Amino acid sequence: MMIVEGGRRLSGRLTVQGAKNSVLPILAAALLSKDQCRIRHCPRLRDVETAVEILRHLGCQARWEAEDLIVDTTVMDRCDIPDELMRKMRSSVIFLGAILNRCGHAEISYPGGCELGPRPIDLHLAALRTLGAEIREEGGSLQCTAPHLQGAEIVLSIPSVGATENAVLAACGAEGTTVISNAAREPEIVDLQTFLCSMGASVQGAGSSTVTVVGKRPLHGCDHTLIGDRIVAATYLSAAAAVGGEICLEGVSYGHLSTVTTALQQAGCRIQCTPEQICLWSDGALRGVSPIRTSPYPGFPTDAQAEVMAALLRSRGTTVFVENMFENRYRHVPELQRMGADVRLEGRVAVVCGVEKLHAAQVQATDLRGGASLVVAALQAEGITKVTQTHHIDRGYADLAGDLRALGAEIRVETTEDEVT
């Protein structure tokens, strides 16, 4: 659990960890190289460790050198992922396109992850079928075969990040050219494209709604540095905005989270940016902002909704949140209410009415970003708050407590027997 004593201002400089949502598809993409890849600035997360377990299960090698993860995929003697590894994280499905590319067949089960509502992988499967894969379900597992992938035009019904990534990875091994329309535009997909091109692939258009892949290019190992994690940056900016202080975050692009910084500026913060640095000043006296509606990038990120909500719990006025991405993305709200927050829910709408103060309580993280929001709230609360089930937080933050402590927070981690691991 995390034990947080509220009321401390935050100040200082911090380098933001590498992006979780970049490293997972990049580790899958490393399978295509049949070589050694060095991934620099790689965060040590539960989800990364799960991805490493998957690689080792497949016969590959992986080792850490300080903050670098070296992956050697020269040898790969399996093409299946067991159920226990698939259940550990939702992003495990991203290995499907890469395994199918390399082996011509793959066997996986349905993935796990945070319970945020239905996140079907139908779009992933439809994209792979368009490239020539045959996929059938047997007893909860997916049997996929594709001895000859063929380039095609793939039109996604919604700009799914995972389906875009899986399609790109499979298309790298297809004959001819693949064009993916209505592709997701997230910065992490641009990072994946950069990694693949460094290996010798021909991928263009990431960051736009049309991505083009020319398949069957000879690939090799490479050295790649991950972009900074924009959601981790949003968490720390939200924390400093809420309690007051002055922080500078390095290694993260302002353009990747401009919707978040715009909301915090509207709340009363002062923000200055350079291409690789964001600095925020706040007196802790925030005001309500215009309605925040989550949407695919470049819209307001659903992963930052909970943290910004927590920042505005003591604001003057009212803020309306509309969650358009996941139906169960407000599971943190009852826990915030335990701390005295006034948040009213109606379906996908949450109305935050600012209160004068929050009080300490024992609260439970129910998912990754919701757990981070409880920590942001605890930093503002009077007294000592205990946040349990922090294994959810560890899936996306390499050292949330350590980073916040470096900025002046009074926070520590204790291991308890009843904590789920």
Residue 114 known to be catalytic: yes
How many alpha carbons fall within 13 Å on the CB side of residue 349?
7
Helices (H), 36-186: 46-57, 83-86, 95-103, 122-130, 161-171
Contact status, residue 48 vs residue 398, Cβ threshold 8 Å: no
Give the Å distances, CA to CA, from 271 to 51, 258, 261, 277, 302.
36, 11, 7, 10, 22
- Strands of 318-322's sheet in order across: 292-293, 318-322, 349-353, 342-346
The H-assigned helical ranges of 13-109 are: 20-29, 46-57, 83-86, 95-103
Structure-token pair, residue 302? 């659903």
Burial 280-315 (b: 16+ CB within 10 A, else e): bbbebebebbeebbbebbeebbbbbbbbbbbbbbbb
Spot the catalytic one: 37, 60, 103, 114. 114
How would you classify residue 283: left for phi > 0, otherwise alpha for psi between -120 and 50, otherwise beta? Answer: alpha
As a whole number of angstroms, the distance between CA 29 and CA 26 comes to 5
**What residues act catalytically?**
114
